[in-house]
Every structure is written in structure tokens, then in C-alpha cells.
A and B are shown apart, each in its own frame.
Chain A
Amino acid sequence: MRLLSKKSLLLMSLVAIHVPILFSGLFAPYDVAEQNRDFSFVPPSRIHFTDAHRTLHLRPSVCSLENSGFGQYHENRDRCFPIHFLIMGSPYLLFGVFKSNLHLFGVEAPAKIFLMGTDLYGRDVFSRFLYGGQLSLLTGILATALSLGFGVLFGTLAGYYGGWPDAVIMRIAELFLALPWLYLLFAVRAFLPLNLNAAAAFCLLVSVIGIVGWARPARLVRGIALSSRERHYVLAARLFGGSDSYLIRRHVLPDAYAVIITQAVLLIPQYVLAEVTLSFLGLGVGEPTPSWGNMLSTLQQYQVLVSYWWLAIPGAVLVPVFCSYLLLASELQPRRTAIDA
């Protein structure tokens, strides 16, 4: 017997990714905007279980860093600071509502803990990574909701009614499928003022990604609605006096649920990637608000790319995020075939 099934492993990985991002205020030791100008491009902190005399301690500790100039840092092994769990630190708002200053972990004053190193301004990359994940994943989820909303609406109308509405909607969908969305976004962005505030840029990003992506789910849902409306129980329900809206709600859309869910799970990582790509090119939410894409944008400088590998971590983390979403999608897939059979 296997200790962990594939499903529970998948569930655990999804929780492990999303919970820290959801509660980023709690999990992040520092504020996203907190700068330490003396500590720019610090590599990830080493966590020690031994002190300078090589005695083993159960409580992990970090040593204070000293700047030896020219971007070189060395640890002072004589000054070790234990890592404390659930300590008070800088205040933050949980979910933007609840005030708190509780952090999951942290170290006392002179020492700093940088799990993923720091960037040019000495900001903690780990904290920014968590907060940035909120923005990137939210973009993915909202854009997915938007494109699925449009897709399901137009796909159902096209598939259910057929005839000219079908022809018109599907020709428009094909137009959207043919559009190179990256260039479209460049064009849209070029129309707008150079400096957009974070909220406006976020809305722009979500709406462009979401609206451009409606065509694919629309085609899928249309196909299902097309076959579903011909089913005998749909005809029977109509013969018993069902209206069009009733038939769509109760008989046609439930046929599409499985596909819609699978599509959602497939689209979220795709749209997260879209956000990362666009922000990387400077078309997304700008500094100082972190997102995975704009955190990676410093890597456009060759010097940074070759010297400070830890700045690429937000990019590398996309791999497990995508893998777990795609696994979830394939996990949901058999349900769909079971219903179809």
C-alpha cells in the first residue's frame, strides 16, 4: 500500500502553494516595501543548527551579516540570532482588512532573515514573492473567471440556438483565436497613459487577458451545447413545457460543468503565465507593487542574471505551481468521461 496517494499528494502541494500566498502577511517576515540599502543583492540566508563552537541546537539560527564592500557579504559566526516563531513584527493587513503584526517567523533586530535573498534595494525577495503571488494568482483566477464567463455565455447561446447567432459568435471567436494577444496588449497599453496606478494596471491586465481568452472555452461549451440540445431528455423537457432558459440552466449547462471545471483549472496557470510574461515586459503592474512578473523583470539585465541567481526563484516556482494545476486538471478529467459514458 502506498503511504500517500497521488490525490492527497496533489492536494497537499496545492495547499502548500496557496496557503502561504493567501496568508502572505503572516508568512512573510518583512513588509514588501521595506528597504535595506546596506544589504542589496544579499544571497539567501544560511540557517544554522550549530553555533560557532559547533554545538548542536534544536532551534535554528541565522548569523548577522556584515557588508565587506563591493557586494560581498560575510556571516559573523560569533553573532548568531535564533529564529523565533510567531513573533511580533511590522504591522500588516490580512486580506486587506484585519490588522495584525504577527509573523510566522523572524529574527531579532540587528540580524535579518532573507530566505530568498534580497534585490537591488535590499528588499526581502521571499516576502515580495509571497505578496507577488497574491497578485499573479489573483490575475490568473479573475481572468479565468472573466474568460469562462464570456465563453460559457456565448458558447451556450451559439450552441443552443444554432443558426445565425452561432455563425456570428463563432466567426468572432475565430477572430479572437487568431489575434496575437501579446501584441494586442502592447497596442492597448500604448493607448493608455504611461503611468498607471497599480489598481488600474491590474484591471487592465485582467480584462485584456480575460477578454482575449474567451474564444477557446466558448468553442468547447458550444460543442457540448450543440450535442446536448439534441438529447432526448432535452426534447422531452421541452415537450413538458420547459422554456429555453430553463432547458439551458437545468439540462444543457450541467452537461458542460465538467468541461468548464477542467478548463478553469487549465486556464489559471496559463493566465498566470500571461501575467508573468506581460509584467516581465513592463506591461503589468509596476513597482513597488510586487508581482512574479515584475520581480523577474530585473533579470533583463545581464549583470543581474549571471550574478544573482536567487532573483530567478519566482520564475522557478512557476514550475511546481503549473505542475500541480495541470495534475489537478488531469485528475478531474476522468470524472468528465465517466459522466459522458
Chain B
Amino acid sequence: MDPNRHEVSLARPIDGNLLRVCNLTVSYRLGPAYESTALKQVSFTVNCAEIVGLLGESGCGKSTTALALMQMLPANARISMGSIQLDGCNLLSMKEDRLRRLRGSETSIVYQDSETLNPMMRVGNQVMEVLRAHKPAKTAQMRDEIYSIFAALGLKDCDRIYRAFPHQLSGGQRRRVAIAQALICKPRLVIADEPTSSLDSEATTGILDIFRQLRATHNTAILLISHDPETLRAADRLLVMYAGEIVESGPLNEVFEHPAHPYTRALLQCSTRQAAPPMFGVNRHSLACIPGEPPDPCEVLPGCGFSPRCSNRAEICDSLRPRLFEISGVHSARCLQYEARE
């Protein structure tokens, strides 16, 4: 057994942060001398046994964040600044083979689509491969472990599912198998990138319950990434991302009830539950939407990224880039309207 194997998990963090991301800046090279900045100085922390929600629309950098945390950014991506610390170890300076031992065993990802299973392999074997890569044991023992995680994930008829090929399972079952793959080694940080996309509300609730249970039983920290505020109701703390920046962060209830940033406010108004459900002729009004489009990530705006779409924009918003202002001890927003208040 490799003595370095558990080095990361043995080194206890001093301040209780499992994951600490500091000033992470990622850009994609799209051509010679042509870069688009996907993440701009993103900083956040995730504690043990905490569910952190990351909310934002498509293209705002959510998936880039997830891939950066796994150190699996595509070849044309470049981390120009910042650090990612897992348990006090900097992932950016870590060697590839150590990162590989970390992936799947310490940090794990539930990916957003259901094509993460190889169509030509039985799903049970695919889960076992993960276990075999990180915690090899006797086959029968590993199979028992997989059966128990299948059962915990609400997959009935484990035996059939274990031997099934992906096409023989429903979308929800496939997603659960993918989650089983991510959780089988009991990682301490799970990144769930749109884990419930294209699932119906019942399956969505089931999967969110699984995450809550997991946090309760194994102290797993979960970074829940979604574009849908409803999905993130399972989270304790919410980060709102816009155009590669974290524009607001705070406890879930506070952010949902008193959104501080104009973008968060607008986004929550767009949410389906907030608008009255349209019925035939009765109480019909269209869904709210945010006018305009997110800024081109290739352009560098001098001011706030949201200012062109903002409803209460001031003169200064176009020229001054806001920093994250503290509203209360745990709640902060990146908007100049709070500058005066501080």
C-alpha cells in the first residue's frame, strides 16, 4: 500500500474548511491572442458536512468551476491566478498521479448528463471499477458494498440493475448509478454538476434527499451546481455566479428571502414557483425574464458585468468594478449600492 495514499485526508484543516478556493481565475484560449475569461477571481469555501449551492445561468462558469476543482480542465484552459486547497493541500501544484488517486476517492463528481456510463459495460462493473481503482478488495465484498449503496440510493432490484447495461435502465436509474459511482468510495467532497437536469420532479426530490442523507451519515461536503433555484433548496449556503464572478453569497434562506444583488433578485423572479402558474384564462401572466444578454467573456468591461441589464443601474456602475461588500456577517454581494452602507 502506498504510504502517501491517505496523506490528504490525514492532514486536518486548521480552520475547518474542507475546500478553499482563492482568487481562481480561469481563461480559455480560443485562438492566438484571443482568450475568454471564464472565471474571474472566484473565492469561496466549503466546510465539512456542508451543502453549498452554486447558482447561475448557462455559460456563467459553473461547470468550469467544477472541472477546475477536479483539475480536469480542457487542454486550452489556463489557470492564470489563484489557488484551490483541499484539506490544506494545493491542488494546482499536485502531481498528476496523486490527483488521480484523489479523483473518485476524496473528491468526486456527479456529472450533468446521463451519458457518463459506457453503453457496452454492465453498470455494476462500472461502479466496481471505481472501487477497484481506489479501494481494491475481494470481488464478492466489493459487490456487497455496491449492492448496499444501490439500496441506499433507492434502487430496488439491485441484482438486476447490477447486471444491466445502461440502455436497460431508465434515466433516473442511470443517474442514480452515476451517483453510486461518485459515492462508492465515500469521498469527502462531492461536486454535483446539474445532478437533476432532465429528471422529473419526483426523481429530483429523491436525488436531493440522497444528498441530504449523505451529508448526515458521512459528513460529506457537497457543492451543488444548478441553474434552477428550486434544486438548490437542499443547500445550506448559496453562491450566485454571474459572468464568471461570484456576485452574492450567503445562507440559503437569507439569499432567497432578501436577495441583495440585483441579478439574484431578477433571477429569483424568473423562477417558475415565484410566478403564478399560468392557467386557462385565469391569472395568466408571462414569466419574468432578465432583459439583455450576459457580457461577452472575451471583452473586458471596466465596470460591473451586470450593469447593462441592471434595473437600478447608477452612473458609476459602468466605470467601477465592484468588490464583494459585506451586508451582514455571512451575507455579501458584489454591488456598488452597498458601498455607501459599509
**A 213-259 contacts with B by CB, 8 A:** 231-233, 235-243, 246, 250-251, 254-255
Who on chain A is nearest to B166 by CB?
A: A233
Contacts of B130 in A (CB 8 A): 240-241
Q: Determine if A339 is an interface residue (Cβ-Cβ < 8 Å).
A: yes
A-side interface size class: 10 to 19
**A232 close to B111 (CB less than 8 A):** yes
Partner of B102, one of A237, A241, A251: A241
**A233 close to B133 (CB less than 8 A):** no
Quote the shortest CB–CB distance from A18 to chain B (angstroms). Answer: 30
**A239 close to B100 (CB less than 8 A):** no
**B113 close to A239 (CB less than 8 A):** no
A246-B133 CB under 8 A given contacts A239-B104, A241-B100:
yes
Q: CA of A231 to CA of B97 in the docked complex: distance in angstroms?
A: 22
Contacts of A339 in B (CB 8 A): 120
Contacts of A254 in B (CB 8 A): 118, 120
Q: Determine if B178 is an interface residue (Cβ-Cβ < 8 Å).
A: yes
Give 18 new A-B contacts, CB below 8 A, not counting A236-B178, A339-B120.
Answer: A231-B115, A232-B111, A232-B113, A232-B115, A233-B117, A233-B118, A237-B118, A239-B103, A239-B108, A240-B103, A240-B182, A241-B101, A242-B129, A243-B100, A246-B133, A250-B118, A250-B129, A254-B118
| A-side interface mostly | helix
**A236 close to B72 (CB less than 8 A):** no
**B129 close to A237 (CB less than 8 A):** yes
Q: CA of A250 to CA of B181 in the docked complex: distance in angstroms?
A: 16
**B133 close to A241 (CB less than 8 A):** yes
Contacts of B101 in A (CB 8 A): 241
Total inter-chain residue pairs, C-beta < 8 Å: 60
Who on chain B is nearest to A242 by CB?
A: B133
Quote the shortest CB–CB distance from A237 to chain B (angstroms). Answer: 7
Mark each residue of chain B from 111 to 135: 1 if its CB lies under 8 Å from any CB of chain A, else 0.
1010111111100000001100110
B-side interface size class: 20 to 34
Q: Determine if B220 is an interface residue (Cβ-Cβ < 8 Å).
A: no
**B118 close to A239 (CB less than 8 A):** no
Who on chain B is nearest to A257 by CB?
A: B120
Quote the shortest CB–CB distance from A260 to chain B (angstroms). Answer: 14
Contacts of B103 in A (CB 8 A): 238-241
Who on chain B is nearest to A255 by CB?
A: B120
Q: CA of A339 to CA of B72 in the docked complex: distance in angstroms?
A: 28
Contacts of A232 in B (CB 8 A): 111, 113, 115-116
Q: CA of A232 to CA of B182 in the docked complex: distance in angstroms?
A: 15
Contacts of B72 in A (CB 8 A): 235, 238-239
**A233 close to B129 (CB less than 8 A):** no
Q: CA of A339 to CA of B115 in the docked complex: distance in angstroms?
A: 15
Partner of A236, one of B97, B105, B111, B133: B111
Q: Determine if B109 is an interface residue (Cβ-Cβ < 8 Å).
A: yes
Who on chain A is nearest to B103 by CB?
A: A241
Who on chain B is nearest to A239 by CB?
A: B109
**A240 close to B181 (CB less than 8 A):** yes
Contacts of B100 in A (CB 8 A): 241-243
Q: CA of A243 to CA of B108 in the docked complex: distance in angstroms?
A: 15
Quote the shortest CB–CB distance from A264 to chain B (angstroms). Answer: 19
Give 18 CB contacts A-B under 8 Å: A231-B115, A232-B111, A233-B116, A233-B119, A236-B111, A236-B116, A238-B72, A239-B70, A239-B104, A239-B109, A240-B104, A241-B103, A241-B104, A241-B130, A243-B100, A246-B133, A250-B129, A254-B118
Q: CA of A242 to CA of B218 in the docked complex: distance in angstroms?
A: 24
Mark each residue of chain B from 60 to 104: 1 if its CB lies under 8 Å from any CB of chain A, else 0.
000000000010100000000000000000000000010011111
Who on chain A is nearest to B109 by CB?
A: A239
Who on chain A is nearest to B101 by CB?
A: A241
Quote the shortest CB–CB distance from B248 to chain A (angstroms). Answer: 28
